[in-house]
Structure formats: C-alpha cells, structure tokens
C-alpha cells in the first residue's frame, strides 16, 4: 500500500509504470515548467504497484530522458518507502527555464495530466519565467535569527503528520524547502512562512479586514463608513488563522436540526470563504508594494482582493481547469500546514459549494494589478428560506452559472446560456448542457428553437 500522500497522481505527483525515457521526459518537462514535483516509477495511474524498477535502470533512463528535453531538466532520484516495497522517485524542481521536448512540444502539468501549451500560452509562460521567482530572492537585511523556531517546529510537526518525516539537519531542510539559501540566509518565502516579524521586511504582506454595514463603502454624502477594521500581521499561517477567526465572528451563524443532528448555517459556505482566503495569501504577487490583501464584507457580499495579475498562462477562462503557482514554495508550505487540501482542486469545489448552498457562483475579476473573488449571499425564495441548487460535483464554472440562472428564472435556453458565457463556443455550451442532462440535473424540454432546460 502506498503512503497516503502518493496514492493517486496530482498536480505535483506523476506515476510512470516503467523506466521509459519518452514517458519520463514528458513528465520532467511538464513538472519543471509548472511547480515542480515528484515522478514515481513502477506505479500505474491508479496507484497500483506494477513492477520493480531498479536503480540502474533509472540512471540510464534519466540520462536518456534528459537528452530528450531542451534544455535538459535536472532531476534527482531518491528511494521511497511504500509499505513493504521500496520505489524509486525522481524529484523535479521548478525551473526558471522554459523546457520543451525534442519534438517541439511544450508541456505543463495540469491536475493529474500533462498538457501541451498553445502558442499564446507558451509566450505567457516564457514571460513569467524570465521574471524569476520573487519568493526565492534573499531578504538582504534578514538573518537566521529572524526566523521563529516555534513556528518552524509547528511546521515540522504538521509536515510529519502529512507523511513527510524530517530527514537531515534543520539547516538542510530549510534550504530544501526554499526558506534559506545555502549559506542560511532567509529568502522571501522563508520570512513570510517563518519570520518573527515578516512585515518589518515586507510591509505589503499583511491583510486588512473591513466590515461595512451596507452594500457600499461610503454613505450617500460620500463619507467612508465601516463597522470594523482590523490590520493583520505575522507569518502567513498566523494571518490565515486570524483572518478566518475574524470572518467567522462577522458571519451570521444560525443552526438547523436534521435527524437529531445540529448543522451550523453561515452567510457563506465555510469552504468557499476559506479557499478564497488561502488563494489570496498563497498566490498574491508579493513584489507589489504599497498594497495588502483586502477582505471586505458588505451587507450583501464578501470581496477578497489579492494584489497582482493572474500568474503564468492562467486566465479567467481556464481558471477552473488549470493550475499554476506564482509562489510554489509558499503554496507547499501552506499545504504542509494543512490549509490546502489538494493542489489544483480548490476553485471548482468553491463554485460547487456556493451553488449547492443556494448562492450565485463566485465572481472572479482579473486586472493587471489585482485579482478579486466576490461571494454573494444566497438568493431567497418567497418564503424567506435560502434556495438550494441540485446536488452534483465536478461542474465547471459555466455549468454552475447555468444552474444558478435556472434556479432564479425557472429555465434556460441555449441563447440565454450564450449571453451568460459570450466568449465560449456554442458547441462547448451545448456539451455543457448535455452533460447536466446526462447527470439528471437538468431536464431538456422541446426541440430545435423551442428547446429549453429546467431543473429535474
């Protein structure tokens, strides 16, 4: 039995059944172009052991695979304990180079698969690669004494619970996870994750929470008014905890009893709020000075605003399906802390949780300087109770939007769906609706121009 952390492939984990140089090269390129990760040999895509792969085979295959990559991808192999078996894995670091295969394909890791990039996506990825990783940069005036030993120990304890035991000295570990350089000087990621006073070095890394009593930040005469304002500082994990506690205090909490069990009801689904908050902290552009993450609560909505444009080749159109991290070391740190459940799967679940709780899908807005998520309150029925959407998982954002529309207006036509998603092809939208019908979530009524869809 494989350890829990490697039971199935994912954003930073790939399985290759045998030491095949071609398959290995594809995974090396895809992971190096994304956030890095681990290739485990001798395991199929379902996580089942196939056959033993010997270290001698790995050496030869890795050399041949590297020759198929342009430029070559540097990977280091290591042994992995999997129950009674010992497997061989290849650790692939995130690269600042843009890698391609010998046949010209540029691959990226997308969920549990490797995907070829289009020409425009390659250009966007090349631009972000040349900019480098800010989180890797050394904080010039910081020393090892500026890292908090208690925070580091808490991180190590959490990491071990996730199946990543500490190997080697603390100095070696801090360098391995990108918290320090080889000389032990803290990096931006190290200060943000483990610093005693991160904002003394990076004042832009704080969070501001504001609660407004109405639906606007100002009164009719233009004066700013708010009911509560908090400025949060400290290492990222502490700020996440404090921000969540404040939001929880401010969300109206009720309860319902079903089958003798008490269920808490909040203004917004817990997971959706948590995911929006974690994403803002993990993916913001920490290069941008003079602006912090903002959490704004209004009477009808919550907005979480993160400084910086969408990273890499990510756009509003592929936000749900794709994953690219601007700050992979920070993301991994928050993952080990337990704040990120599974890499690359948060946005789609956020949409599902909102729709299933009777809310409109989250609103996403991207500019060249900020990315914001807006969570609207649940729509109410005539009897004052929140409307519930049909249960169903693995919907994309477009389908969630369609279900919310049907919930509000009773039905949807192909033309109405096209107005909701004007930048999507009619064939894609047709397949979206067909999928919802196939899953018994919508019922198709009529034919040709008279076709419309209702909740089933």
> What percent of the chain has pLDDT above 70?
88
DSSP 8-state assignment for residue 377: P
Architecture of domain 397-455 in this structure: Orthogonal Bundle (1.10)
Question: Tokens standing for 339?
Answer: 């704040």
Q: Distance (Å, rounded) from C-alpha 364 to C-alpha 374?
A: 7
For the segment 366-386, the average pLDDT, to the nearest whole number, is: 75
| Residue 394 confidence class, pLDDT cut points 50, 70, 90 | low
For the segment 258-282, the average pLDDT, to the nearest whole number, is: 81
- CB contact at 8 A, 350 and 276: yes
Question: Tokens standing for 266?
Answer: 């909040």
Largest CA distance in the chain: 76
Which among 345, 370, 350 has a CA at the least distance from the CA of 362? Answer: 350
| Residue 261 confidence class, pLDDT cut points 50, 70, 90 | low
Residue 220 has pLDDT above 70, yes or no: no
Which among 243, 276, 267 has a CA at the least distance from the CA of 376? Answer: 267
Q: What is the pLDDT of residue 360?
A: 85
Residue 268 has pLDDT above 50, yes or no: yes
Q: Distance (Å, rounded) from C-alpha 453 to C-alpha 431?
A: 13
Angle at 341 between CA 338 and CA 347, to 5 degrees: 130
Q: What is the pLDDT of residue 5?
A: 47
Residue 256 has pLDDT above 70, yes or no: no
Q: What is the pLDDT of residue 123?
A: 86
Q: Distance (Å, rounded) from C-alpha 376 to C-alpha 306?
A: 18
Q: Which helix (H) or strand (E) holds 433?
A: helix 426-438
Which among 451, 447, 439 has a CA at the least distance from the CA of 399? Answer: 439
Q: Distance (Å, rounded) from C-alpha 338 to C-alpha 82?
A: 22
Contacts of 72 (CB under 8 A, 6+ apart): 66
Q: What is the pLDDT of residue 312?
A: 80
Q: What Rg value do the Cα atoms of the chain yield, rounded?
A: 24
- For 18, phi then psi, to 5°, come to -145, 170
Which among 298, 295, 320 has a CA at the least distance from the CA of 306? Answer: 295
For 253-320, the DSSP string reads EEEEEETTEEEEEESS-HHHHHHHHHHHHHHS-TT--S--EEEEE-SSEEEEEEESPPPTT--TTTTT
DSSP 8-state assignment for residue 50: -
pTM over 0.75: no
For the segment 77-83, the average pLDDT, to the nearest whole number, is: 74
Q: Comparing 4-13, 36-45, 191-200, which segment has the lowest mean pLDDT? A: 4-13
Residue 329 has pLDDT above 80, yes or no: yes
Residue 125 has pLDDT above 90, yes or no: no
Q: Comparing 15-24, 54-63, 65-74, 206-215, which segment has the lowest mean pLDDT? A: 54-63
For the segment 332-336, the average pLDDT, to the nearest whole number, is: 90
Q: Distance (Å, rounded) from C-alpha 238 to C-alpha 244?
A: 10
| Residue 390 confidence class, pLDDT cut points 50, 70, 90 | very low
Q: Where are the domains of the chain?
A: 4-128, 144-203, 205-376, 397-455
Q: Comparing 60-64, 102-106, 126-130, 380-384, which segment has the lowest mean pLDDT? A: 380-384
Residue 1 has pLDDT above 50, yes or no: no
Q: Tokens 């609207």 label which residue? A: 376
- For 351, phi then psi, to 5°, come to -60, -45
Which among 430, 427, 425, 428 has a CA at the least distance from the CA of 451? Answer: 430
Residue 169 has pLDDT above 80, yes or no: yes
* 205-376 fold: Heat Shock Protein 90 (3.30.565)
| Residue 192 confidence class, pLDDT cut points 50, 70, 90 | very high
Please state which CATH number belongs to domain 4-128: 3.30.950.30
Q: What is the pLDDT of residue 79?
A: 79
Residue 384 has pLDDT above 50, yes or no: no
Q: What is the pLDDT of residue 405?
A: 85
**For the chain, how far is it from start to end, CA to CA, in angstroms?**
41
Q: Distance (Å, rounded) from C-alpha 209 to C-alpha 142?
A: 28
Residue 247 has pLDDT above 80, yes or no: yes
Q: What is the pLDDT of residues 92-109, one digit of tens each?
A: 988 888 999 999 999 999
Q: What is the pLDDT of residue 419?
A: 86
- CB contact at 8 A, 211 and 232: no
Q: Are strands 261-266 and 253-258 parallel, antiparallel or unpaired?
A: antiparallel
Comparing 117 with 397, the larger pLDDT belongs to 117
Q: What is the pLDDT of residue 3?
A: 46
Q: What is the pLDDT of residue 204?
A: 96
Residue 391 has pLDDT above 50, yes or no: no
Q: Are strands 13-16 and 37-41 parallel, antiparallel or unpaired?
A: parallel
Q: Comparing 238-247, 300-309, 442-451, which segment has the lowest mean pLDDT? A: 442-451
Residue 383 has pLDDT above 50, yes or no: no
- CB contact at 8 A, 272 and 350: yes
Burial class (CB in 10 A: 0-12, 13-18, 19+), 375: buried
Q: What is the pLDDT of residue 144?
A: 94
Question: Tokens standing for 67?
Answer: 């020759």
Question: Tokens standing for 202?
Answer: 């990076």
Q: What is the pLDDT of residue 322?
A: 77
- For 106, phi then psi, to 5°, come to -110, 115
DSSP 8-state assignment for residue 222: S
Residue 226 has pLDDT above 60, yes or no: yes
Q: Tokens 């047709």 label which residue? A: 430
Task: Write down the mean pLDDT value for the chain.
Answer: 84
| Residue 333 confidence class, pLDDT cut points 50, 70, 90 | very high
């Amino acid at each position: 039995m494989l350890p829990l952390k490697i039971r199935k492939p994912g954003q930073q984990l790939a399985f290759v059944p045998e030491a095949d140089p071609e398959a290995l090269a594809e995974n090396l390129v895809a992971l190096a172009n994304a956030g890095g990760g681990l290739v485990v040999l001798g395991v199929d895509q379902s996580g089942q052991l196939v056959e033993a792969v010997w270290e001698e085979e790995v050496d030869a295959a890795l050399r041949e695979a590297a020759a198929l990559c342009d430029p070559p991808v540097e990977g280091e192999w290591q042994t992995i304990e999997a129950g009674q078996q010992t497997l061989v894995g290849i650790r692939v670091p995130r690269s600042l180079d843009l890698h391609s295969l010998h046949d010209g394909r540029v691959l990226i890791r997308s969920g549990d698969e490797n995907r070829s990039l289009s020409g425009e996506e390659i250009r966007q990825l090349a631009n972000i690669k040349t900019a480098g990783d800010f989180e890797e940069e050394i904080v010039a005036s910081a020393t090892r004494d500026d890292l908090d030993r208690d925070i580091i120990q808490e991180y190590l304890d959490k990491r071990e619970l996730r199946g990543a035991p500490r190997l080697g000295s603390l100095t070696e570990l801090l360098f391995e996870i990108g918290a320090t350089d080889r000389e032990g000087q803290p990096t931006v990621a190290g200060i943000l994750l483990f610093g005693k006073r991160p904002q003394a070095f990076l004042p832009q890394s704080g969070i501001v929470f504001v609660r407004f009593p109405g639906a606007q930040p100002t009164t009719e005469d233009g004066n700013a008014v708010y009911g509560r304002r908090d400025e949060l500082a400290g290492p990222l994990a502490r700020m996440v905890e404090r921000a969540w506690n404040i939001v929880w205090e401010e969300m109206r909490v009720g309860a319902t009893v079903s089958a003798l069990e008490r269920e808490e009801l909040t203004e917004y689904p817990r997971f959706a709020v948590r995911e929006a908050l974690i994403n803002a902290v993990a993916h913001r552009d920490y290069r941008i000075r003079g602006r912090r993450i903002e959490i704004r609560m209004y009477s009808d909505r919550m907005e979480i605003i993160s400084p910086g444009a969408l990273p890499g080749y990510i756009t509003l159109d592929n936000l749900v399906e794709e994953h690219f991290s601007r700050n992979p070391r920070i993301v991994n740190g928050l993952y080990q802390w337990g704040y990120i459940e599974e890499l690359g799967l948060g946005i789609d679940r956020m949409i599902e949780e909102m729709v299933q709780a009777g809310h409109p899908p989250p609103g996403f807005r991207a500019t060249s300087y900020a990315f914001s998520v807006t969570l609207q309150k649940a729509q109410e029925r005539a009897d004052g109770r929140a409307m519930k959407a049909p249960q169903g998982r693995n919907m994309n954002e477009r389908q969630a939007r369609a279900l919310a529309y049907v919930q509000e207006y009773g039905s949807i036509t192909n033309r109405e769906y096209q107005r909701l998603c004007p930048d999507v092809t009619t064939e894609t939208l047709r397949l979206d609706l067909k999928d919802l019908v196939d899953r018994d979530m919508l019922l198709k009524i009529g034919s040709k121009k008279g076709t419309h869809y209702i909740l089933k």
